Amino acid sequence: MIRVLSVASECVPLVKTGGLADVVGALPAALAAERVEMRVLLPGYRPVLAALPKAEPVWQADDLFGGPVRLLQGTTAGLSLFVLDAPHLYDRPGGPYLDEAGQDWPDNDMRFAALSWMAARIGAEGAGEWRPDLVHCHDWQAGLAPIYLKARGIDLPSVMTVHNMAFRGLIPPDRLAALALPGWAFQPDGMEFYGQISALKAGLVYGWKVTTVSPTYARELAGPDFGAGLDGVIRARGADVSGILNGIDEAMWNPATDPHVSPYKAPRGKAKARAALIGEMGLPEGDGPLCVVVSRLSEQKGLDLLLEALPRLIARGGRLALLGSGDPVLETAWHDAAEALPGVAVRIGYDEALSHRMIAGGDAILVPSRFEPCGLTQLYGLRYGTVPVVARTGGLADTVIDANPAALAAGVATGVQFAPVTAGALATALDRLCDLHADPATFQKIQRNGMRAPVGWGVSAAAYAALYREIAPPR
């Protein structure tokens, strides 16, 4: 048995802004079968504390970065949790990173340094009767934990997982003392990044192993196009860097038991779900594929490119239903597209139940991301027989088999890939989708292939467990 402390800023079902939360929430159960006991350390946001009314304190102090703190221990939703209850840092409205006006909390450096500091303290001294054999840090919010461990002289193994390299956790250098960070680490081979502290770089440099959420993204991070200025660090770590694909919760995303949709098996049940979605979204009937998008509206996700390519899909008899929110400029542009094109329906915001109905009812799910560390929506699409159309990048390239002539002849295609990530290439991919959809036997074969594809956590959990055993042998 290996004991692992997983340190993160969000976790399903307690707090979520993106795929990070899904991974952190899914790993403990997935790893239990691998004889890994994982506990999760989270900030004491209001929703987290509300979900743990019977949590018990296992440590407390009068002052940590400006106020009193307690470390609470409790369980909820099948998760064993440690929660850093620090009201001066986390007891506030808004989200985990942004205030109610959508601006970064000005003390985010201190809020997440405190989380990392507590991870190092648990690693060094334990919490109650529990002490980890390894600390697993997720993204920049936990990136300072390895340097806090090193500064304390604690030789405890650590893994740093990059879910998105674009967020580097930049902190002004005059904050070193306030955050109790060692001055010797503020140098180019340490956590210094163009004159600032980078919490993510600290994790990349001082973590024992570095992982990211797909093999292709791991390779991409070693180059300047995707490395966000840290590609040299990735190259320097060499064999210490690996990519392990994310999985999805196959119980939550199961077309046979999903409470949000009628149970179905493609293609007959798919037709019923499609008809229901067309009615709900107010879309016209058409001969082409019904496409869906469930996404954050941002440049990363390539949804500006989809706006340019959209007329091609509509001209071929296709329709599009979009659910998402984000960049106000993109929100307005998509509203305008829905007004101008009768085959387009847009819902701004997020609705978990509607997302399930859309993925169940769509013929295809579009993921035209400029970069995508792993991606989850294409996995949901595969599970529901909703053919993914994806950019050939990151985890999208690793999880979707392009319907090229060789894959079609071999009977293994599960979707459509396109490259480069341009509006023109996306338009061509949508043409290919329409051609495939026009051949029902071929399209249904692709759907069924996708529904049989491995999208759960089994293989990935085994890979994480093997990595843990490499650096922290079982007791």
pLDDT at 18: 84
Are residues 199 and 223 part of one domain? yes
Q: Which string of b and e fits 267-288 if b means at least 16 CB within 10 Å?
A: bebbeebbeebbeebebeebeb
pLDDT at 451: 96
SS3 220: helix
Can you tell me the mean pLDDT for 53-65? 96
pLDDT digits (tens, 9 = 90+) for 154-173: 999 999 999 999 999 999 99
Binding residues for ADP-alpha-D-glucose: 16
**C-alpha–C-alpha distance, residues 15 and 98, integer Å:** 13
pLDDT digits (tens, 9 = 90+) for 377-416: 999 999 999 999 999 999 999 999 999 999 999 999 999 9
What are the start-end ranges of the E strands in 199-276?
209-212, 241-243
Can you tell me the mean pLDDT for 310-323? 97
Q: Domain of 296?
A: 268-452
Are residues 432 and 463 part of one domain? no
Are residues 290 and 204 part of one domain? no
Are residues 234 and 134 part of one domain? yes
Q: Is residue 252 part of a domain?
A: no
Q: Is residue 8 part of a domain?
A: yes
Q: Are residues 456 and 462 in contact, defined by beta-carbon separation less than 8 angstroms? A: no
Are residues 286 and 225 part of one domain? no
Q: Is residue 255 part of a domain?
A: no
Model confidence at 475: pLDDT above 80: no
Are residues 203 and 73 part of one domain? yes
Are residues 231 and 99 part of one domain? yes
Are residues 274 and 230 part of one domain? no
Are residues 305 and 204 part of one domain? no
Query: In terms of Cα–Cα distance, which of 216, 244, 160 is closest to 395?
Result: 216
Q: What is the CATH number of the domain that holds 95?
A: 3.40.50.2000
Q: Is residue 199 part of a domain?
A: yes
With bands split at pLDDT 50, 70 and 90, how would you rate the model's confidence at 269?
confident
Distances (CA, A) of 100 to 94, 95, 96, 97, 111: 5, 7, 11, 10, 17
With bands split at pLDDT 50, 70 and 90, how would you rate the model's confidence at 265?
low
Are residues 416 and 464 part of one domain? no
Are residues 425 and 399 part of one domain? yes
Q: Is residue 32 part of a domain?
A: yes
Number of domains within the chain:
2
**C-alpha–C-alpha distance, residues 286 and 317, integer Å:** 5
Binding residues: 16
Q: How far is CA 366 from the centre of its chain?
A: 17
Are residues 217 and 363 part of one domain? no
Q: Is residue 263 part of a domain?
A: no
pTM, two decimals, is 0.92
Q: Is residue 16 part of a domain?
A: yes
pLDDT digits (tens, 9 = 90+) for 193-211: 999 999 999 999 999 999 9
Question: Quick one: how many helices (H) and strands (E) in the chain?
Answer: 18, 18
